[in-house]
């Protein structure tokens, strides 16, 4: 599975499973990413806000795998909402990582976290367009191979589609067993925007859930294997995070098929909070 790719609508290949790196420190992440790459992971997901870009850049340079075989994603912070701010953020990420280009840059959130989590209906359409302009320029100059968004609702994406010549290639959103935002997934898939599934294990909360464990047992796999396989069978790109080499290895052993009946059961699991 680690050798398989999706293809973004602009033709760029993107490895089907990424290593998530949220809540891994800048010093620890060096060893974690080196372990992941030694197992065969080729796709690393970070963000300015994870404060570990420097360590990831170091691992990418030291790991012994050619840069063009690796796929590195970062994200423009929730509160950077201007053209100049976004332009500077991309330069800063490149410098911190010591890389000549990034594979994917996302807008981390359509609005500042406080407003997103409070469910505010205030939109940042103009501001996101300004950020998108800086990203589009970085994309067209070759500093970034693909651009996209994260935590975006349909109206936030439609705003970019309606007012820009470059459609987002990716929307990274929370999707896991017990949290299935069908409407936005369908919208993205209809518009050829790849959906990346963050927190595929609900930040660990899926593990130990008796009903999900019972289904995993049926296939002779762990809950994380079931949840990652579930995302893949929906055409999504899962970003499991692990600091354990054994877990990382296990999370890529996905040579089983969840039946249609069990996919339906998993799609109807009651809401599970991740944070």
Ligand X SMILES: NC(=O)c1ccc[n+]([C@@H]2O[C@H](COP(=O)([O-])OP(=O)(O)OC[C@H]3O[C@@H](n4cnc5c(N)ncnc54)[C@H](OP(=O)(O)O)[C@@H]3O)[C@@H](O)[C@H]2O)c1
**Residue 244 makes contact with ligand X by CB under 6 A:** yes
The Cα 237–Cα 170 span in angstroms is: 10
Site for ligand X in 89-108 (CB under 6 A): 108
Q: Residue 77 to residues 70, 80, 149: CA-CA distances in angstroms?
A: 23, 6, 11
Contact 16, 236 (CB under 8 A): no
- Tell me which of 164, 243, 253, 262 binds ligand X, using CB under 6 A: 243
* Binding residue count for ligand X, defined by CB under 6 A: 27
How many CB atoms are located within 10 Å of the residue 11 CB?
8
The CB-of-121 to ligand X minimum distance in angstroms stands at 19
Kindly state the tokens that stand for 34. 């080196």
- Concerning whether 50 is annotated as a catalytic residue, the answer is yes
The Cα 194–Cα 210 span in angstroms is: 31
Per-residue contact string for residues 176-205; x = within reach of ligand X by CB under 6 A: ----------------------xxxxxxx-
Q: Of 6, 9, 41, 50, which one is the catalytic site residue?
A: 50
Stretch of 20-28, 60-68, 138-146, 181-189 lying at the interface with ligand X (CB under 6 A): 20-28
The Cα 272–Cα 200 span in angstroms is: 12
Measured between its terminal Cα atoms, the distance across the chain in Å is 28
Which residue, 260, 254, 238, 257, is CA-closest to 175? Answer: 238
Which residue, 77, 98, 99, is CA-closest to 88? Answer: 77
The CB-of-66 to ligand X minimum distance in angstroms stands at 23
Cβ proximity to ligand X, 84 vs 267, nearer residue: 267
Site for ligand X in 138-157 (CB under 6 A): 150-151
Type and span of the H or E element at 194? strand 194-198
Calculate the CA 38 to chain-centre distance: 21
The CB-of-174 to ligand X minimum distance in angstroms stands at 7
Q: For residue 30, what are the contacts with CB-CB under 8 A and spacing of at least 6? A: 55, 56, 58, 59, 62
Cβ proximity to ligand X, 43 vs 145, nearer residue: 43
Per DSSP (E only), the strands in 46-141 are 71-76, 104-107
- Tell me which of 185, 237, 242, 252 binds ligand X, using CB under 6 A: 242
Stretch of 8-16, 123-131, 137-145, 246-254 lying at the interface with ligand X (CB under 6 A): 246-254
The CB-of-150 to ligand X minimum distance in angstroms stands at 4
Cβ proximity to ligand X, 63 vs 195, nearer residue: 195
The CB-of-84 to ligand X minimum distance in angstroms stands at 23
- Tell me which of 250, 252, 258, 266 binds ligand X, using CB under 6 A: 250
Cβ proximity to ligand X, 63 vs 110, nearer residue: 110
Residues that bind ligand X (CB under 6 A): 20-22, 45, 108, 150-151, 172, 198-204, 207, 222, 224, 239-244, 247, 250-251
The catalytic residue positions are 50
């Amino acid at each position: 599975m680690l050798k398989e790719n999706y293809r973004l609508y602009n033709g760029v290949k993107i490895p089907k499973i990424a290593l998530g790196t949220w809540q891994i420190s800048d010093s620890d992440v060096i060893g974690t990413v080196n372990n992941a790459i030694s197992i065969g992971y080729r796709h690393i997901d970070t963000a300015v806000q994870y404060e570990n870009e420097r360590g990831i850049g170091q691992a990418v340079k030291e790991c012994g795998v050619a840069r063009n075989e690796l796929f590195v994603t970062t994200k423009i912070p929730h509160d950077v909402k201007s053209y100049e701010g976004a332009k500077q953020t991309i330069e800063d990420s490149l410098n911190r990582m010591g890389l000549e280009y990034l594979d994917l840059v996302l807008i981390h959130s359509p609005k500042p976290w406080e407003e997103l989590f409070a469910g505010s209906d205030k939109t940042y359409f103009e501001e996101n367009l300004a950020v998108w302009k800086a990203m589009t320029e970085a994309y067209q100059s070759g500093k970034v191979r693909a651009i996209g968004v994260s935590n975006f609702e349909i109206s936030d994406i439609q705003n970019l589609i309606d007012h820009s010549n470059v459609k987002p290639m990716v929307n990274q959103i929370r999707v896991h067993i017990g949290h299935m935002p069908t409407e936005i997934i369908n919208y993205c898939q209809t518009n050829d925007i790849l959906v990346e599934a963050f927190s595929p294990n609900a930040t660990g909360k899926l593990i130990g859930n008796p009903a999900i464990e019972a289904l995993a047992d049926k296939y002779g796999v762990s809950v994380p294997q079931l949840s990652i396989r579930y995302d893949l069978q929906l055409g999504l790109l899962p970003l499991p995070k692990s600091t354990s080499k054994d877990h990382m290895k296990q999370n890529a052993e996905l040579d089983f098929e969840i039946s249609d009946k069990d996919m339906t059961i998993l799609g109807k699991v009651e809401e599970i909070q991740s944070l």
